[in-house]
Amino acid sequence: MKLLAFASLLAATASALAVPQPKDLSSLQFPTQKDALNKRYYDYDNAQEPIRGVNIGGWLVLEPYITPSLFEPFRTNEYNDDGIPVDEYHYWEQLGKEEAMARLVNHWDNFYTAQDFADIASQGFNMVRIPIGYWAFETLEYDPYVPGWQQLYLDKAINWARDNNLKVWVDLHGAAGSQNGFDNSGLRDSINFLEDENLNLTMTVLKKLLKKYSGDEFVDTVIGIELLNEPLGPSIDLDKYKNDYLVPAYDYLRNTLGKDQNIIIHDAFEAFNYWDDFMTLNDGDHYGITLDHHHYQVFSSGELQRSWDERLGVTCSWGEGTLSESHWTVAGEFSAALTDCAKWLNGVGIGARYDGSFNKNGASSYYIGSCNDNENVYAWSEERKQDTRKYIEAQFDAFEMRGGWIIWCYKTETSVEWGVNQLIANGLFPQPLTDRQYPGQCNNA
């Protein structure tokens, strides 16, 4: 497409989305979707390997179920979770800045090291997705965090990745005010991201992140920046999110910075094809945007009690659903989990649906099976071990129908079904990654 036509379409898109017209495009060369990704990583047209990545979860953004040892010292009794902070925000708030810093520097120094990145590469992965919160860059006046430190560790991790020939997605995982109310955003039970103060701060942070990690120091290794992890589409104003956050961020990257870095947009839990007309050109080029889908089957009772055939059908549909989408897609999160039994997976004080202990805001669950010995892989039945391996392989088959996958997550302190390194150690995860004990489950192998 000629540059003039490209400029006209981009201006029309901005007008339709009720945002200021982008700056003059006449001096800029805009990459197509494939051009941007080929330059950064691999050549889709020549059918080189897809993204096969792993998430660095629970490190620079705390999640209680990944590192329960950080949260257990707050426990006030053995009968419930009273006293335990429910997220990173309250972790800092309860400890105070000085003590929280002391504990978290120890965590940042030790939970992930250069050896982990060497191991990840040796196990056949080619990319890592690294979550980080807004508070690593800037904070609101009343925030309990100390900013800046996580950013130093992110830079160190990118260098570890470079040393091991791994590529990186930098993922803004938590927005000021929270974009979803999940503990993985840093602040649970609040969805106020689009309030003016929160939105303005998050945009300030995002611009810093875009400028730094699209710059010369990092662009050889950072092949994508995720503008925001898991905004909860059904609970936020998606038009405001697009007009006041996504489009301005894109305009800043392309027109102010003049960078061709690939950007990733999470699907906001909307259905396949929802984003087809967002920043999509008539000739099939996509502005250098990748759509990120996250898929799990453990966060409702209905999903947890699916038969194997039902679970497999849903898994394969995840791959098939992407084939007609306009944007290139990658499954940026999924897991091996067949239960929600991992301690605090649903949040501190909430329980599990699988064993009927779930209780949140008056919602309860019914008994499906026991969570006893869930973290003891030696107590697992042979059927469960086989189903875990089958499920992992089926997801690989599904997600490799398009751009690939990034599994959640590489390690946890205790949970086998959420920790790739433990799954590998116990023979439940393909090694090499192309090994199939159960080939062709989605008829695409």
pLDDT in tens, 275-324: 998 987 544 455 689 999 999 999 999 999 999 999 999 999 999 999 99
What's the confidence (pLDDT) of residue 280? 72
Average pLDDT (429-441) is: 96
What's the confidence (pLDDT) of residue 361? 87
Question: Taking 90 as the threshold, does the pLDDT of residue 12 lie above it?
Answer: no
**Range(s) of the domain holding residue 177:** 31-294+305-336+384-410
What's the confidence (pLDDT) of residue 436? 95
Yes or no: say if 54 and 125 are a contact pair by the CB < 8 Å rule: yes
- The DSSP result for 88-104, as a single string, is HHHHHHHH-HHHHHHHH
Yes or no: say if 191 and 227 are a contact pair by the CB < 8 Å rule: no
Percent pLDDT > 90 in the chain is 83
Q: Give Cα 68 to chain centroid, integer Å.
A: 20
Which residues lie below 8 Å from residue 30, measured CB to CB, with a gap of 6+? 3, 6, 254, 260, 287, 288
What tokens were used for 139? 């904070």
What's the confidence (pLDDT) of residue 427? 97
| Structural domain includes residue 300 | no
Which residues lie below 8 Å from residue 191, measured CB to CB, with a gap of 6+? 177, 178, 179, 180, 181, 232, 235, 236
What does DSSP assign to residue 235?
Answer: G
Question: Taking 70 as the threshold, does the pLDDT of residue 23 lie above it?
Answer: no
Q: Which residues pair with 405 in a beta bridge?
A: 52, 331
What's the confidence (pLDDT) of residue 281? 58
Average pLDDT (230-243) is: 98
* CATH (domain of 393): 3.20.20.80
Q: What share of the chain is helix, strand, coil (3-state, %, to 5)?
A: 40, 10, 50
Query: How far apart are the C-alpha atoms of 78 and 66, rounded to whole Å?
Result: 20
At residue 182's C-alpha, the angle toward residues 176 and 185, to 5°, is 35
What's the confidence (pLDDT) of residue 22? 33
pLDDT in tens, 169-210: 999 999 999 999 999 999 999 999 999 999 999 999 999 999
| Structural domain includes residue 105 | yes
What's the confidence (pLDDT) of residue 35? 54
- Which residues are marked as active site? 230, 333
- The DSSP result for 144-196, as a single string, is ----SHHHHHHHHHHHHHHHTT-EEEEEEEE-TT-SSS-GGGTSTT---TTSH
| Structural domain includes residue 433 | no
At residue 189's C-alpha, the angle toward residues 185 and 192, to 5°, is 70
Question: Taking 60 as the threshold, does the pLDDT of residue 2 lie above it?
Answer: no
| Structural domain includes residue 198 | yes
Question: Taking 80 as the threshold, does the pLDDT of residue 256 lie above it?
Answer: yes
pLDDT in tens, 357-398: 999 988 889 999 999 999 999 999 999 999 999 999 999 999
What tokens were used for 37? 């990704």
| Structural domain includes residue 179 | yes
What's the confidence (pLDDT) of residue 1? 33
Residue type, 192: N
What's the confidence (pLDDT) of residue 283? 44
- The DSSP result for 37-62, as a single string, is HHHHT--GGGT-PPEEEEE-TTSSS-
pLDDT in tens, 65-84: 999 999 999 999 999 999 99
Of the candidate ranges 33-37, 90-94, 212-216, 358-362, the one whose mean pLDDT is the lowest? 33-37
| Structural domain includes residue 37 | yes
| Structural domain includes residue 165 | yes
Which is more confidently placed, 42 or 248? 248
Question: Taking 80 as the threshold, does the pLDDT of residue 36 lie above it?
Answer: no
State the total domains in the chain: 1
What tokens were used for 176? 């000021």
| Structural domain includes residue 156 | yes
Residue type, 280: T
Q: Which residues pair with 265 in a beta bridge?
A: 291
What's the confidence (pLDDT) of residue 287? 66
